[in-house]
């Protein structure tokens, strides 16, 4: 049997596949998989070259398709002997969702519906141990829970959904579809909600790579509002290890939060990146890149704080994050420095929204 990964050419998807075919290969075999099929639409955020370093002859195949294409997805599930699905395909950039919500609801809501319907039909046709071991892992976000106050306890898996952006609403809608298909039809589905990921291969529009690339080129570093919005940062490899563990031992119908407890303000993240770059790649002038920081008008519906309680995945599955945040951030900065030529000239905070005034 093979594992189907949707959105495998994107940031988390590519890291997941690389980990699964490297460190996770033994785990894949433990749960009965002998290869991975990557289904990706290849929007602007999908890059098949993210997987160029896979060993030649690795048990991996790429399929260019849209999860909203019922016929294509059904053909893949049938033809590739799929024994589990890890659903990572998504539109994820909040700024873009504010300007173009239709695209987000097409992929994150209707795409998830069509995929889940196809997966249900496929699962119903399986027999014996194959039906019992089948899993549909729906990978979601902490943003579906809404925003926390400065002294609020972190969100748990029982926290109500309260999305504040079109992106978050589209993901919450998809999560509800998966939940309903489990409750109504018995589909062995599991949902995970993760905090903000960082690491290699991330699209340059996101905060950390955007800041790194802009700072390398001495361009302004715009920060929304007062810069005190808080995010909980998770190393992408720690996230991918958690997904493999949930795939193996997670209970159908359960939701698992995945985070590392690295709460930082946006301005603190930008300032730390500047400090790392000042150390690794000093400016000719000797001045710190912190002088590039520019505070700009806040975006609409900007959530103030995210934080997740991860007691469930720690106690039930024994997962814990391995990466030290500062070491991981420094390694990420080094990765982008090493790839400087590849990214040169690409816009750091790559999506100019109409409310930005910098």
Q: Is residue 112 included in any domain, yes or no?
A: yes
**Catalytic residue numbers, as ranges:** 142-143, 167
Structure pTM?
A: 0.95
Nearest to 80 by CA among 61, 54, 52: 61
Kindly state whether residue 315 falls inside one of the protein's structural domains.
Answer: yes
Domain that holds residue 84: 2-200+235-262+302-322
Strand-pairing partners, residue 224, are 296
How remote is the C-alpha of 261 from its chain's centroid?
A: 17
Answer whether residue 83 is part of any domain: yes
Does 125 reside within a domain? yes
**How many residues in total does the chain contain?**
358
Q: In the prediction, which pLDDT does 200 show?
A: 97
When divided into structural domains, the chain yields a total of 1
What local confidence, expressed as pLDDT, does residue 225 receive? 96
What is residue 24's predicted lDDT score, i.e. its pLDDT? Answer: 55
Report pLDDT for 344: 72
Please report, in angstroms and rounded to a whole number, the separation of the first and last CA atoms in the chain. 51
Residue 138 lies in a domain: yes
* pLDDT < 50 regions, the chain: 348-358
Q: In angstroms, rounded to a whole number, what is the distance separating the alpha carbons of residues 202 and 45?
A: 8
| Interatomic CA distance for residues 277 and 285, integer angstroms | 14
- Which phi and psi angles does 189 have, rounded to 5°? -105, 145
Calculate the alpha carbon distances from 92 to 11, 63, 89, 105, 188 in Å. Answer: 11, 21, 9, 11, 25
Q: What is the pLDDT of residue 8?
A: 97
DSSP string across 80-115? TTEEEEEE------HHHHHH-HHHHIIIIIIIHHHH
Determine the pLDDT at residue 353: 43
d(CA 297, CA 355): 7
CATH label of the domain that carries residue 255 = 3.40.50.720
Which of 72, 187, 177, 190 minimizes the C-alpha distance to 123? 187
Closest by Cα among 340, 209, 195, 215 to 287: 215
Phi-psi region of 253 (alpha: psi -120 to 50; beta: other; left: phi over 0): left
Helix orientation angle between 112-124 and 70-79, rounded to the nearest 10 degrees: 40
Angstrom distance (rounded) from CA 152 to CA 150: 6
- Average pLDDT of the chain? 93
Residue 47 falls inside a structural domain: yes
Tell me the two tokens of residue 176.
Answer: 């509800």
**Domain for residue 221, yes or no?**
no
What is the largest distance, in Å, between two alpha-carbon atoms of the chain?
68
Residue 206 forms part of a structural domain? no
And the tokens for 198?
């960082």
């Amino acid at each position: 049997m093979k594992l189907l990964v949707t959105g495998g050419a994107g940031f988390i998807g590519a890291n997941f596949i690389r980990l699964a075919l490297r460190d996770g290969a033994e785990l894949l075999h433990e749960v009965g998989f002998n290869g991975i099929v990557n289904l990706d639409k290849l929007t602007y955020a999908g890059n098949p070259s993210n997987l160029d370093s896979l060993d030649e002859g690795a048990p991996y195949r790429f399929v260019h398709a849209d999860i909203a294409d019922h016929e294509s997805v059904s053909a893949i599930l049938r033809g590739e002997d799929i024994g589990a699905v890890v659903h990572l395909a998504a539109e994820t950039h909040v700024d873009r969702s504010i300007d173009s919500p239709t695209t987000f609801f097409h992929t994150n809501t209707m795409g998830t519906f069509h995929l889940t319907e196809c997966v249900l039909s496929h699962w119903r046709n399986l027999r014996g141990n194959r039906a019992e071991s089948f899993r549909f892992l729906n990978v979601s976000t902490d943003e579906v829970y809404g925003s926390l106050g400065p002294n609020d306890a972190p969100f748990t898996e029982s926290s109500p959904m309260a999305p504040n952006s079109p992106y978050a609403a589209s993901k919450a809608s998809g999560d509800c579809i998966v939940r309903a298909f489990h409750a109504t039809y018995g589909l062995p589905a599991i949902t995970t909600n993760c905090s903000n990921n960082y690491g290699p291969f991330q699209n340059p529009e996101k905060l950390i790579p955007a800041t790194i690339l802009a700072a390398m080129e001495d361009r302004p570093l715009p920060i929304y509002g007062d810069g005190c919005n808080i995010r909980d940062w998770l190393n992408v490899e720690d996230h991918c290890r958690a997904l493999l563990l949930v795939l193996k031992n997670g209970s159908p119908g359960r939701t698992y939060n995945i985070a590392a407890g690295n709460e930082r303000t946006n301005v603190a993240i930008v300032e730390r990146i500047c400090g790392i770059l000042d150390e690794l790649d000093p400016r000719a002038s000797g001045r710190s890149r912190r002088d590039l920081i520019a505070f700009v008008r806040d975006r609409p519906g900007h959530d103030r704080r995210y934080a997740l309680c991860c007691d469930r995945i720690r106690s039930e599955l024994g997962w814990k994050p391995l990466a030290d945040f500062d070491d991981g951030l420094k390694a990420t900065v080094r990765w982008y420095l090493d790839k400087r030529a590849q990214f040169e000239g690409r816009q750091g905070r790559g999506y100019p929204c109409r409310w930005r005034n910098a």
